[in-house]
């Protein structure tokens, strides 16, 4: 049994504070000195949706740990295309790998797959639902940069309705009662009512606005996301596009020590003119992803 509190990682709700401590400590260690802890291990990455960072950082993580990688970068080339069920795919791939990382457009699909897999499964994104390892990357970045996960003023900008990275991150950060959230979105892309209610249960404050200039004032962290056009029919509405842009002018109204994060890819919501400013941490965030995923792979395969 792994020293983490979960066997499969499907939802950020499963992640306990003790898991964060273990993962952060090991990620710090790997950052300083990579070790070949997964020499005998194989990860299979099954992606039924596009990915650059998530798949590559998992694969890079396994290579850095001395393990091997089986990669399905396009689900269309697997037997699922011939009609094989996710359950059978889970049973079969479990014979060939020690851990499986999977992304799929359907909500709940990775849970269904994990039920039939006999090795640990990591959800790398199921539709608009959850993306728990991205939230680990995000909180690790915030912790490295701010030295705390509590008592922060956090702005979440963009598509809060369909963004799985947003849902997973808020699952983790709303547990800390002293955090204050400013949710900034187009009125049609706000957080679903049931999500909002679930997050508010923990007692932290959530306020909503569609005014970015107002919303950015006093923030410690601004988490920017793109509009998830592939998840809904935006019709001809141009309103969703070019709706917000984080640029130098906007940052001049923010605190000097604000940090700007983005799970990436960005599609216009962050102007590249801020890339070299000290506030821009989204590329550092993509780099931290490797160390957090190394820690996950070795703890979930019991090699540490």
Contact by Cβ (8 Å): 19, 136: no
Question: Among 94, 123, 134, 182, which residue sits at the site for ligand NCD (rule: CB under 6 A)?
Answer: 134
Q: Which of 21, 130, 294, 58 is nearest to 4 (CA)?
A: 21
From residue 169 to residue 198, the character string flagging contacts with ligand NCD as x (rule: CB under 6 A) and all else as - is ------------------------------
CB of 251 to ligand NCD, least distance (A): 22
Assess 226 for contact with ligand NCD (CB under 6 A): yes
Assess 125 for contact with ligand NCD (CB under 6 A): yes
Q: Is 39 exposed, middle or buried (0-12, 13-18, 19+ CB in 10 A)?
A: exposed
Catalytic residue selected from 8, 41, 45, 54:
54
- CB burial of 228-242 (b: ≥16 within 10 Å; e: otherwise) equals beeeeeeeeeeebee
Minimum CB distance to ligand NCD smaller for 30 or for 58: 58
Assess 153 for contact with ligand NCD (CB under 6 A): no
Assess 131 for contact with ligand NCD (CB under 6 A): yes
Q: How many CB atoms lie within 10 A of CB 13?
A: 14
Question: Among 164, 167, 175, 281, which residue sits at the site for ligand NCD (rule: CB under 6 A)?
Answer: 164
The alpha-helical segments, DSSP class H, found in the chain are 17-32, 53-64, 86-93, 109-116, 132-146, 164-173, 193-200, 212-215, 248-251, 282-300
Where in 58-117 is the site for ligand NCD (CB under 6 A)?
A: none
54 as an active site residue: the answer is yes
Assess 264 for contact with ligand NCD (CB under 6 A): yes
Distances (CA, A) of 206 to 54, 98, 136, 159, 296: 29, 40, 21, 16, 30
Tokens of 11: 């939802």
Catalytic residue selected from 31, 53, 68, 91:
53
CB of 202 to ligand NCD, least distance (A): 23
Minimum CB distance to ligand NCD smaller for 173 or for 204: 173
Q: Which of 189, 251, 192 is nearest to 226 (CA)?
A: 189
CB of 264 to ligand NCD, least distance (A): 5
Assess 53 for contact with ligand NCD (CB under 6 A): yes
Assess 127 for contact with ligand NCD (CB under 6 A): no
CB of 155 to ligand NCD, least distance (A): 17
Assess 46 for contact with ligand NCD (CB under 6 A): no
Query: DSSP secondary structure string, 53-113?
Result: HHHHHHHHHHHHTT-EEEEES-GGGSGGGGT--HHHHHHHHTTT-SEEEEEESSTTHHHHH
Residues that bind ligand NCD (CB under 6 A): 53-54, 125, 131, 134, 164-165, 225-226, 263-264
Report, as residue numbers or ranges, the catalytic residues. 53-54, 82, 103, 131
């Amino acid at each position: 049994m792994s020293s983490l509190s979960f066997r499969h990682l499907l939802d950020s709700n499963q992640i306990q504070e003790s898991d964060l401590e273990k993962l952060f400590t090991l990620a710090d260690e790997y950052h300083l000195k990579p070790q070949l802890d997964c020499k005998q291990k194989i990860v299979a990455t099954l992606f039924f949706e596009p990915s650059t960072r998530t798949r590559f950082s998992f694969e890079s993580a396994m290579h850095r740990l001395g393990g091997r990688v089986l990669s399905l970068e396009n689900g269309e080339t697997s037997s699922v295309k011939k009609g094989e069920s996710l359950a059978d795919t889970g049973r079969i791939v479990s014979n060939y790998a020690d851990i499986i990382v999977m992304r799929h457009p359907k909500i709940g699909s990775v849970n269904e797959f994990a039920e039939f897999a006999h090795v640990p499964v990591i959800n790398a994104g199921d539709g608009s639902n959850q993306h728990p390892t991205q939230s680990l990357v995000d909180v690790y970045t915030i912790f490295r940069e701010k030295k705390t996960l509590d008592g922060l003023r956090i702005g979440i900008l963009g598509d809060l309705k369909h963004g799985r990275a947003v849902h997973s991150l808020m699952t983790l950060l709303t547990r800390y009662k002293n955090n204050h959230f400013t949710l900034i979105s187009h009125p049609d892309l706000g957080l679903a009512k049931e999500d909002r209610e679930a997050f508010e249960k923990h007692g932290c404050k959530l306020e909503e606005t569609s005014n970015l200039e107002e919303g950015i004032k006093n923030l410690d962290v601004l988490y920017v996301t793109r509009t998830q056009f592939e998840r809904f029919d935006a019709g001809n509405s141009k309103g969703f596009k070019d709706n917000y842009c984080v640029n130098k002018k906007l940052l001049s109204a923010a605190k000097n020590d604000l940090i700007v994060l983005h799970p990436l890819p960005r599609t216009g919501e962050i102007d590249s003119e801020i890339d070299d400013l000290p506030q821009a941490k989204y590329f550092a965030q993509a780099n931290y992803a490797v160390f957090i995923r190394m820690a996950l792979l070795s703890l979930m395969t019991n090699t540490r």
